[in-house]
Copies of this chain bind each other. A is one copy, B any other.
């Protein structure tokens, strides 16, 4: 392999093989065009001698597709997104695409910056877990991008392709389960309810309470409002500890807690245990996400499963199908929550509902 300073071009090969550059191009990338076997061999030999690698920018300029997609998520240290990203990558790999992952850190400015970068790079499509709450902005972007799928964090009333999750149903399910287990005084703990998903989850909680004929007690909603844009597990964990402290300082403890995510639940449980309040004996907790750790902590966390892999896979499929102009059976998917029963909830008295 001759590695002179510069990389060999198609005309270097042409010269060496004694043919025109058109012929070289046809040998290299148009298998259907007839070229005499002898010539073809000469070209192939010359190419390998010169260690020829086509210049991708030139090919792109001539209009071939880059097979790159952009993927924007809030944070990769959040295990939910790590799993999601893993699924996206696998799907892309199978279909010959390269994903470019970007992390918005829950910052609209960063999200915009990444979106602009992806547009500059002329990716063929974008997958976005969106932290913008701006309708016009989204319309703008999705019009400009060849293909565009919202996932995880979607936008209420968004008309385009999306793979979202029934957060409302999730909030309901978690709360109803606690009610069924005989708990009545159920608190809700969360970081800032900024995102749509959290609001929905909270609404689900309230709905389930109301549905059970219980009045909603605002003092049982404990929020940790901190506008540090930080989506790390550690942060959520500490947030959970903080929230548990707040709860511990109230007049009396609730029967149970609905936490807005697993990490917060785990942080809260840890703090409670530290203060001598045992889970689930003294208080029950249900989380949300079903990240890997949740089954590994003690007590293992009862939680609502949010299917990260499924979300990533479906969203990627829709996006790639759009890019390739394949028919998309369903452009708007809403994944349903399911309960994962483990050890953090105590059944006070059986109260089976039909």
What are some 19 contacts across the A-B interface (CB < 8 A)? A53-B119, A57-B57, A57-B60, A57-B61, A57-B122, A61-B61, A76-B82, A76-B86, A77-B79, A79-B79, A79-B82, A101-B101, A232-B292, A234-B292, A237-B292, A237-B296, A267-B296, A270-B296, A293-B296
Q: How many copies does the complex hold?
A: 2
Please indicate the chain B residues that have their CB under 8 angstroms from the CB of A77 in the complex: 79, 82-83, 86, 292
Count, chain A residues at interface, CB 8 A:
43
Considering the complex, which residues of chain A in the window 47-97 have a beta carbon less than 8 Å from any beta carbon of chain B? 53-58, 60-61, 75-77, 79, 82-83, 85-86, 89
How far, in angstroms, from A111 to B104 measured CA to CA in the complex? 27
Q: Could you tell me the distance in whole angstroms from the C-beta of A105 to the nearest C-beta in chain B?
A: 9
0/1 interface trace, chain A 161-179, chain B, CB 8 Å (1 if under)? 0000000000000000000
* Minimum C-beta distance from A234 to chain B (A): 5
Q: In the bound complex, what is the Cα–Cα distance between A266 and B56 (angstroms)? A: 46
Chain B neighbourhood of A82, CB < 8 A? 76-77, 79, 82
In the complex, chain B residues whose CB is within 8 Å of the CB of A270:
296, 298
Contact check, B56 vs A143: say whether CB atoms are below 8 A apart.
no
**Which B residues are CB-close (under 8 A) to A3?**
143-144
Select one of B58, B86, B101, B233 contacting A61, CB under 8 A.
B58
Q: In chain A between 28 and 60, which residues have their CB closer than 8 angstroms to a CB of chain B?
A: 53-58, 60
- Output the least CB separation between A91 and chain B (Å): 13
Q: List B contacts of A232 (CB < 8 A).
A: 292
